[in-house]
Amino acid sequence: MYKEELAFSAPDVIVDTPMHFCPGCHHGTIHRLVGECLTDLGLVDSTICVGSVGCSVFIYNYLRLDAVESPHGRAAAVATGVKRARPENFVFTYQGDGDLAAIGLSEIIYAANRGERISVVFVNNTVYGMTGGQMAPTTMVGQKTTTCAGGRCQERDGAPLKMAEMLASLEGTAFSARVSVDSIVHLKKAKKALRKAFEVQMQGRGLGFVEFLSACPTNWHMTPLQANERVSQGLTSYFPLGNFKDTDLE
C-alpha cells in the first residue's frame, strides 16, 4: 500500500498559500530562506518586517510577521525609524534593485554608514520587474529592456552598480555578501550568508546585507530553466558571488 510521508515541510512563519510570483522567479525561494533563517534563529516573534515597492510588495502575505510598508526606496530609512524605536526587535528590509539601488540609494548608504542594526535582503534581478522590465541600476551592459531596447549602453547609462561591494566599503556595514539560489550548492551558501546577515544585527555589530542574484524569466524573455542558467552563466562574471565584508574575519 502506498504510504504518504511528509518529507519536506515549511516553517510556520511561511503562509501556505499560492504566491503571485511568475514561474521560475526566485523571490519565492528567497522568501522561504528568510522564513527559515528567522525560524532557525528564533526571531519570528520579535521580527518587524519592512516591505518595499516592487514585485516583493506582498511579502506580508507570505510571511506571518508584523510588517510595515514603506514608500519606494525608503525601506532603509523606515527600518532605521523602526529599529531606533524598538531596538529590542529584529528588523529587516526586503528590497529589489530599482528600490534599493536607484531611488533608495541614499537611504541604504546612510543607514549602512550609520551602522544601523538592521538586516537587508536585496534582490537583484537586473530589471524593474513589477513595472514590466525596464532598465534597472543593475541591468547588465548590453542587456535589452523595455527602456533600452538596443541594450544597456555604458557610455549612455553608466555601468551596473555593485551594491554588495559598495556597502562593504562602509564602516557601519558588519556583513555584506552576494549569493544566488540557482543551485543546491548556491542555496546552501545563500542561507549561510543570510543567517550571518541576521546574526550581526542580533550581536549589535551593524548592518547586515545580502544581495541575491535572482531570475526574472518573464522580463528576461526566457523559460524558467534558461533564466536559472543565466544567473550563473551570465551574471556572476560581473556580479561575483562571495562575502565582501565579514567582520568575523577581520
Amino acid type, 167: L
Residue type, 164: A
**Residue 145, strand partner residues:** 148
Q: From CA 176, how far away is CA 192, in angstroms rounded?
A: 12
DSSP, res 21: S
Using CB under 8 A, pick the residue from 60, 130, 165, 187 that binds another protein. Answer: 60
Residue 68 contacts another protein per CB under 8 A: yes
What SS3 class is residue 53? coil
The distance of closest approach from Cβ of residue 23 to another protein in the complex, given in angstroms and rounded to an integer, is: 21
Give the one residue of 14, 25, 48, 164 binding another protein; rule: CB under 8 A.
48
Q: Which of residues 14, 33, 34, 50 is near another protein by CB under 8 A?
A: 50
**Distance (Å, whole) CA 193 – CA 54:** 23
Residue 161: CB minimum distance to another protein, A: 18
User: Applying CB under 8 A, which of residues 29, 36, 110, 172 lies at the interface with another protein?
Assistant: 110
Contact flag: residue 224 with another protein (CB under 8 A): no
Is 55 a binding residue for another protein by CB under 8 A? The answer is no
Q: Which is nearer to another protein, 113 or 236 (CB)?
A: 113
Give the total of residues touching another protein (CB under 8 A): 35
Pick 101 or 140: Cβ nearer another protein: 101
Q: Find out whether 52 and 93 touch, Cβ atoms under 8 Å.
A: yes
Contact between 82 and another protein (CB under 8 A)?
yes
247 is a contact residue toward another protein (CB under 8 A): no
Report if residue 94 touches another protein, rule: CB under 8 A.
no
Any idea how long the chain is?
A: 250
How is 149-194 classified by DSSP, letter by letter?
TT-B-HHHH-PPP-HHHHHHTSTTEEEEEEEE-SSHHHHHHHHHHH
Closest approach, Cβ 170 to another protein, in A, equals: 13
Q: Minimum distance between the CB of residue 46 and another protein, rounded to whole angstroms?
A: 4
Decide if 177 contacts 243 (C-beta within 8 A).
Answer: yes
Name the region of 151 (left: φ>0; alpha: ψ -120 to 50; beta: rest).
left
Q: Is residue 119 involved in binding another protein (CB under 8 A)?
A: no
Give the binding site for another protein (CB under 8 A): 44-48, 50-51, 57, 60, 64-71, 74, 77-86, 89-90, 106-107, 109-110, 114
